[in-house]
Structure 1
Amino acid sequence: MSRAIQIDQHGGPEQLKIVDVQVGEPGPGQIRIRHKAVGLNFIDVYHRTGLYKLDMPARIGMEASGIVEAVGEGVTHLKPGDRAAYASQPPGSYCEVRVMPATTVCKLPDAIDFDTGAAMMLKGLTAQYLLRRTQPQGGLKEGDFVLFHAAAGGVGLIACQFARAMGLKLIGTAGSDAKCELAKENGATHVINYAKEDFLPRVKEITGGKGVKVVYDSVGKDTWDKSLDCLSPFGLMASFGNASGAVPPFAPGILGVKGSIYVTRQTLFTHIATREAAQEMADDLFGMVTSGKVKIHIDQRYPLEQVQQAHRDLEARKTTGCTILTL
């Protein structure tokens, strides 16, 4: 048996309930893993509220770390007793033990503890695919400007450090002076408190009127229009979230008017759809962390029983860095 968080209908944090569930043996291509820590992400809120709809009843959560207890037929990269961490579909990581697909589960280096492993996979792999794989025409070169919204969040703080290691000039936005300072401490070259100033003219000022090569945007509706205007000609608008709400429909013709710019909507799970790709990206992330170039900030810890409060704080923008549920 395992304790797990389940929702019986979409809605607010009060829908998150602890239930006891039976956990069986892994089938072909699956593993059974006993969690040590579980990561909290904004996509969990989307699943809970129904922005991304799930069949009911549903379990949520997309990342965790723990120890592999059993492996199914065909799984060769893991064995019982291995330390492991993952970001994975389907949802269901808010639990003590689960059976799940093995494709994106990676062995966790001994140098990385379980809490860090649980906090870093979804957010770290997201930062990795954005900066390494989601690039504008001609790629990104040392000294290039990029704009990253929500730079003091879990993905943002990792991206700031990643960008610094790549030699990029990251302009980070955040909603308070304290969050801006945190982003700067983690590698942002410039920071903008969007609660105090309009980020568009500030970006233009920082870049000498040229704009940025890429905007990485997980905010959505509230930042969309002005973000397009922050781009240089042939720049890339990379959307990867909807924290403020979904972006409304727009006419493709505006992309030409604004400089023949590109727009893409990215998801992590397209990038880690194969075992080879997932491992390659994880190896890059693990290398960044073990070398000290990227530090994973775990600024909030909640016991599994306080998952409702964890969601309230996440939605209220009260969190910084990464958040984990402890077991």
Structure 2
Amino acid sequence: MRAVVMHETGGPEVLVLTDIPKPEPGPGQVLVRIEAIGVSVGETRMRAGAYPLQLPMVLGAEAAGVVEKLGDGVEPSLMDARVVMVTGGAGSYAEFIAVNAGNVTKVPDGLSAQDAVASAAPGALALALLHRAGLRGGETVLVEGGSGKVGGYLVRHVREFGVERIVATASRKPVEGADVVLDHGNPDWTDDLDPLDVAFDMAGGETTRRVLGKLKPGGRMLLYGALTAQPELDPVAVQGQGLQVIGCGGPLWFRQCLDVHYPEFVDLAARGRTHLQPVADVLPLDLAAEAHRRVAASAGRILLRPNLGLDS
């Protein structure tokens, strides 16, 4: 089969289309013929050497496709099902992948493979955050990156949990559904914050400390990213104000997202109850390097499709 193999870290040119053996599903796994692949900013950082990797490797954490073969012990109803999946961090820049059956979610009729892979991960993460926040009626909530993939879903659905006031940040972009939008390109944007009940923090660094200072006594902050740096926390302020700092990550969080919120989101999407991420472009596997260049340049949601140009 064809796959994009990386033998060394570096620029996009290290992503090389290669013929490698087609995998076989082991016990508890399914073999998926991939129809669409998500390309993320995190993968561009992995390729550049930001994290330790075992090389050579095939990048790719998100994909959608059709189950073609079952390993021992897998539920027979998955055979021939269209699914969206997370791989555990690698392997989806390819025509086929063998993945744990517990990491796939069936895609309902009415939702394409491209829409599923473009939207499922950020949508499911947003739903998981909203459920974890313990939101109550009448609260004021901050959503950082309100025009982004996860932030957009948070703003879209947080009102359903009884929130009264939504403050979002964006970089000179409108955020539909927010009551107030602050420009996070301004280094002093936190000075304009009114007291908050809940903050969804993905910026990290000094921003975390500043936003914590805007929480009301007993307020909650959900940490789900560190875009700029590791979050700065003041334990004296946290304790003195009775604040809750909730870390959203790790194996238990990941399992909850897969088991509950992926199915929840794809069902909402198939029924038209949420928005779908716009796809800026779909490229063939042999243009994986170009996909990385565009994602690094913030060119929107870019997907790869293994059979693009080979359908006829």
* Superposition TM-score tier, normalisation by shorter sequence: 0.7 to 0.9
Please state if 1:195 is matched with 2:185.
yes
- Using the aligned pairs only, state the percent identity: 27
Please state if 1:260 is matched with 2:216.
no
- Number of equivalent positions: 304
How far apart in 2 are the matches of 1:143 and 1:63? 36
AA aligned to 1:256 is Q
Structure 2 residue aligned with 1:172:
168
Q: How does 1:241-260 map to 2 (within 5 A)?
A: 241-247=225-231, 250=233, 252-257=235-240, 259-260=241-242
Structure 1 residues 214-254: Cα deviation after superposition (integer angstroms, max 9, x where no partner)? 22222222632322223222222222222223336x55334
AA aligned to 2:245 is V
Identify if the C-alpha distance between structure 1 residues 255 and 48 changes in structure 2 by more than 3 Å, giving closer, same or farther.
Answer: farther
Secondary structure at the aligned position of 1:273 is classed as helix
How far apart in 1 are the matches of 2:4 and 2:150? 24
Identify if the C-alpha distance between structure 1 residues 294 and 255 changes in structure 2 by more than 3 Å, giving closer, same or farther.
Answer: same
Secondary structure at the aligned position of 1:195 is classed as coil
Please state if 1:88 is matched with 2:68.
no
Structure 1: gaps spanning 5 or more residues? 205-210
Identify if the C-alpha distance between structure 1 residues 149 and 140 changes in structure 2 by more than 3 Å, giving closer, same or farther.
Answer: same
Identify if the C-alpha distance between structure 1 residues 223 and 6 changes in structure 2 by more than 3 Å, giving closer, same or farther.
Answer: farther
Secondary structure at the aligned position of 1:243 is classed as coil
How far apart in 2 are the matches of 1:260 and 1:125? 29
How far apart in 2 are the matches of 1:264 and 1:51? 26
TM-score (norm 2): 0.87
Contact residue 124 and residue 285 of structure 1 kept, 8 A: yes
Please state if 1:281 is matched with 2:276.
no
TM-score (norm 1): 0.83
Contact residue 104 and residue 272 of structure 1 kept, 8 A: no
Please state if 1:308 is matched with 2:282.
no
**Which of 139, 147, 159 is residue 144 of structure 1 equivalent to?**
139
AA aligned to 1:130 is L
Aligned CA-pair RMSD: 2.5
Structure 2 residue aligned with 1:30:
29
How far apart in 1 are the matches of 2:117 and 2:156? 19
Aligned-pair distance for 1:149? 1.4
Please state if 1:15 is matched with 2:14.
yes
Q: How does 1:1-327 map to 2 (within 5 A)?
A: 1=1, 3-76=2-75, 78-133=77-132, 135=133, 139-168=134-163, 169-175=165-171, 177=172, 180-181=173-174, 183-184=175-176, 187-196=177-186, 198-204=188-194, 211-221=195-205, 223-247=207-231, 250=233, 252-257=235-240, 259-267=241-249, 269-273=251-255, 278-303=258-283, 304-319=285-300, 322-327=301-306
AA aligned to 1:260 is G
AA aligned to 2:214 is C
Structure 2: gaps spanning 5 or more residues? 307-312
Aligned-pair distance for 1:163? 1.5
Secondary structure at the aligned position of 2:108 is classed as coil
Secondary structure at the aligned position of 2:102 is classed as coil
Aligned-pair distance for 1:197? 7.0
Structure 1 residues 146-170: Cα deviation after superposition (integer angstroms, max 9, x where no partner)? 2121221221222221213334333
